[in-house]
Structure 1
Amino acid sequence: MQVRTVLIPIIAVCAAPVLAQEGPSFDCAKAQSTAETLVCDTPELAALDRLVADRYAAALAVARGLDAGAAEAEAQLKAYQIGWIEGRDECWKADDPAACVAFEYQRREAELVTQFMLEDPSGTTFWTCDGNPANEVVTMYFDTALPSVRFERGDSIDTGTLSVTASGSRYDGSFGRYIWIKGVDATYRDPDPDGTEVSCTVSN
């Protein structure tokens, strides 16, 4: 397996007037939070807002098209989106609110793409952990704005995003889950409260 060494892009943000056709997905005249004001004033953030809005619409279409559990999936997706907006709006507390808002948009896009398979993965790796073929972790990689991964282990599915590390490639998921890849070997950690770390190798 080829190690994926990716530099997470840093979006330069600066206050600037936004043309109507370059604005975000919402009405800036009704902007209420610091985050929404930043999005309205910053073309790069407005572009991220439009991207996430498009991804959310696509995810809704997938949820509504499910053969079973469509109503539940749609309700859950809408609840998560509301929660994400509330989290984004907390960026006013950050040392660099604009950078915080950019990261929140990138992370949300990654979640939507990987959870609802809105794009084909750029690669897939099957991992055998603790030398037991039955103990398998599958990672699918996606070339989202913030490089991301879909974890599959048994019936568990999660989303992770690339973190900055001194060596290898580490993707952090929910509740402490991560996989830290170094060549054909990796360390995988289950979510809390279990938090068990296992050593994994690329399956032949």
Structure 2
Amino acid sequence: MRACFTACLLLAAPAFAQEGPSFDCSKAQSSAETLICQDADLARLDRLVAGRYAAALAVIDSLDTGAEQARQTLRAEQRGWIKGRDECWKAEDLRTCVADSYLRREGELVARWMLEEATGIAFWACGGNPANEVVTYFYATELPSVRFERGDSIDTGVLVPTGSGSRYEGSFGRSIWTKGDNAIYRDPDPDGREWDCLLTSNG
């Protein structure tokens, strides 16, 4: 009887491990990590982001040039993100803050490293100038995300609540608010300029 009980525990162990987060809960150091270890859905989000991070590193490993610098940058960004997640103890709602942090991070990783096929690609001519083009790639991450390309710059953003259309916010004030074939694009420059944009093609 004892042997059967032990065998059942051993068989169940991988399932228990799979339901937990990607880190060792016995070494949880922050209130965020402690909560994640107690919350099945947050643990799932942790595994999801850990998988996206590993996938991004795999993409970097396949680069012909610049792999080492990109790897160092990604690792530094991930450490910074973890530090920011752990700052959620300051928030009024710890769980909501932690969940939002994971959802945004998944969107960032997928859009930045194009880990999935985009659900749509849109080309926008902004400010009445076809040369002033913004390209957006949309991704069906758990929190819908976008990849911005304008000239040589690349940024990512996530969907935010709005009364009409779809608004995505990126870094340093960058955003795009789409309404059918029209959009308002905001650039992250010191003046915070906004342009009216017209859809020229999509896919």
Q: Which has the higher contact order (CA 8 A, sep 6+)?
A: 1
SS at match of 1:152: strand
Whole-angstrom CA distance in 1 between matches of 2:150 and 2:166:
19
State the partner residue of 2:54: 57
Cα deviation digits, residues 46-75 of structure 1 (max 9, x gap): 000000000000101111221111000000
Q: Distance in 1 between matches of 2:69 and 2:92?
A: 38
Determine helix, strand or coil for the equivalent of 2:99.
helix
Runs of 4+ deviating beyond 6 Å: none
1:50-199 matches, cutoff 5 A? 50-199=47-196
Q: CA offset at residue 127 of structure 1?
A: 0.5
Counterpart amino acid of residue 69 in structure 2? E
Higher CA-based Rg: 2
**Structure with greater proportional helix content:** 2
| TM-score for both structures, normalised by structure 2 | 0.90
1:81-106 CA distance string (max 9 Å, x none): 00000000000111110011000001
TM-score (norm 1): 0.89
Query: Which stretch has the larger CA shift, 125-134 or 33-42?
Result: 125-134
- For structure 1, the 5+ residue unaligned runs are 1-17
Q: Tell me the distance in 1 between the aligned counterparts of 2:18 and 2:116.
A: 26
By how many angstroms is 1:20 displaced? 3.1
Q: Percent identity?
A: 66
- C-alpha displacement of 1:192: 3.2
Distance 1:73 1:36 in 2: 27
One-letter amino acid of the structure 2 residue matched with residue 83 of structure 1: G
Q: Secondary structure at the match of 1:140?
A: strand
Q: How many residues align?
A: 187
Alpha-carbon distance in structure 1 between the residues aligned to 2:43 and 2:184? 37
Task: Name the SS for the 1:133 alignment partner.
Answer: coil
Deviation at 1:19, TM superposition (A): 3.6
RMSD: 1.1
Q: Which residue of 1 aligns with 2:198?
A: 201
What is the CA deviation profile of residues 2-49 of structure 1, one whole-angstrom value per residue up to 9, with x for unaligned ones? xxxxxxxxxxxxxxxx94330000000000100000110000000000
Task: Tell me how far apart the structure 1 counterparts of residues 190 and 35 of structure 2 sit (CA, whole Å).
Answer: 37
Question: Where does the alignment leave 5 or more consecutive residues of structure 2 unmatched?
Answer: 1-14
Task: Give the aligned residue type for 1:120.
Answer: E
Q: Is the 8 A contact 1:64 1:73 kept in 2?
A: no
Counterpart of 1:170 in 2: which secondary structure? strand
